[in-house]
Structure 1
Amino acid sequence: MPTPGSLMLDLQGLALTDEEAELLLAPEVGGVIFFSRNFQSTEQLAALVAQVRERRQDIVLAVDHEGGRVQRFREGFSRLPPMAALGRCFDAAPGEALSLAAECGWVMAAELRAFDIDLSFAPILDLDYGTSTVIGDRSFHADPRVISQLATALMAGMHSAGMAATGKHFPGHGYAVADSHVAVPIDERPLSEIRRDIQPFQTLISAGLDAVMPAHVIYSKVDDRPAGFSRLWLQTILREDMGFDGVIFSDDLSMAGAGVVGGFEARAEAALSAGCDMILVCNAPEGAREVVRWLHASAHRPSSRLATLRGEPTKVLGLQALQASDRWRHAQDAIRRIGDLASAHMNPLRKGEGGE
């Protein structure tokens, strides 16, 4: 099977439009990311995936399906807890929390693989400093050692279901207050302090992390560009110093945090030049087409790493068979246990837990 192209884009609705069907044939396109607007029912989702696969068998299908408030598919899927609930479980019962995290990762991945979706962009490795408007309860914990353990267990569950894991948002979005969807966050700490945020990434890399997504955050005492456009962050620190050899995804190039480097062509060129293997352009159809034209004109060759992203076909069960399995029923018990244990050890609502 050929290597997927370097661009991941999104779709407008519940079925492919004629224009989208034609665009998917461009070899520069290598992925599709789904959003809540692309989901109405499990039957409709299966039909949409089949439409995409009919156009391109090699394409990588992805979704943000972390749990809590960031879970794009709901009806017919297990309702996953926010990762902060697992952190509270860890505070109460560390050993049990690791087992629950593995079950959570497995059921998340197994249900998506039942629809031939390759990736959930998880786990999130950002520390909870109680200040970020976009991270909040998406974070496992404030302690990097706890995040490292829980995220490693969650990743093991994902791997057992045949899904690659993507750590985000390197080197850490939890300290910066602003939301990079709508602003340009700046983290003014020196590298010596940021290394605390990097610890979970290093731990998961050592444990077999498949992919990393950098933050649209400027770490001003390290580099004047956001991490996803910085060769220092991606090549020197992530690849050379930390030994990461997996896939690097850009975060969405339509976000405000990416706008500091120019238009879509400039953003794509900057991200790929910095070391990203696959770039995302979402909620900007003309921007995606502009990037396709630029990739074609520049004769850009996609990274061979992208061939590693497809889910393992031998691990796929249809949803009905999956939900009839003992493993799936055990995972439902685990999800209920996470809720019960986390509620029993609930801290007052931390700043940042209420937003999108």
Structure 2
Amino acid sequence: MTGRGPSRGGADGGLARHVPVLPAEVLEAIRADAGGLFLDGTFGAGGYSRAILDAHPENRVLALDRDPGAISGGQALVSAYGGRLTLVETEFSAMEDAAAETGLGGFDGIVLDIGVSSMQLDEAIRGFSFRADGPLDMRMASSGESAADLVNEASEARLADIFYHYGEERLARVIARAIVADRKAEPFRTTRQLSDLIGRIIRTRPGDIHPATRAFQALRIAVNDELNELARALHAAERLLRPGGRLVIVSFHSLEDRIVKVFLAARSGRGGGSRHAPVMAQAVPTFRVEGKWPVMAGEAELAVNPRARSAKLRAAIRTEAPAQGDDPAVFALAALPDEPVRGRGKGRGRR
């Protein structure tokens, strides 16, 4: 995952810890140098918002983030840009409400950087990372079900489904069964407890990713409802963009990228249906896709920002056609399948 912060200093002028991914490519795709009104759906430490505001003296940005820490940290940036930056604490799926409340609309560009930010990963108290011990939390906002709540209360079947479908973890059922067994003696409260349990189950070789990587990703996605948030945001962006406006999405793993691809393919007239939704009468395209996608980071960027390695940028241009209704295929990709994970799963495991 990547940070969403500026390349020089934080949003509050502090130490630079968060480097925006594909910054030049994002600015080009969104046409920030032409001047206009933009929406940054994932403010983070303000990297994209700052870059957009610096690209043209008349640019204005409505920036959203559901993390209260990002909102408080961005207030200095709001002041620095003299009213050109409006910052709202909310999910990016609620961008229409935020636009209505602030009196902004007819956006020339919307950018979404999907996933967890590096400042969230780096702060052990947030509970996103298995590399430092902290409370098993993982909430991007300050309310709702935490990862500890989920791990300690969900059924074995639901946990297995989450690990398998959101984390693509082959030993999902084994891990879920071990969690249910261990939590009877003591509830899971910290990231270290869960990471140690998974480390006992999954054997790794030199060069393998950490054994808890996939399970932690899956829990984070489930706790924050990330895939449904993305699906709702894509449809909202379609309604908010003016004709000629540009939608730019940076995603970091296949689950997110698949949702973006299916949405843009269907809305640009390239979709061919799926097992979730059959081919229907072709609607007038609401987006136009130009160029070759996805765009990925080059070696120069990877040398200074290794977290950009998995980033994929996709973009499309809004047409004059009226917005369409919700696409069932997109929301089907965001949901857990009805059929539960069965069997022990493949892979090398032990207890």
* TM-score interval for Structure 1 and Structure 2 normalised by the shorter chain: under 0.3
**TM-score w.r.t. length of structure 1:** 0.28
Structure (1 or 2) with the larger CA radius of gyration: 2
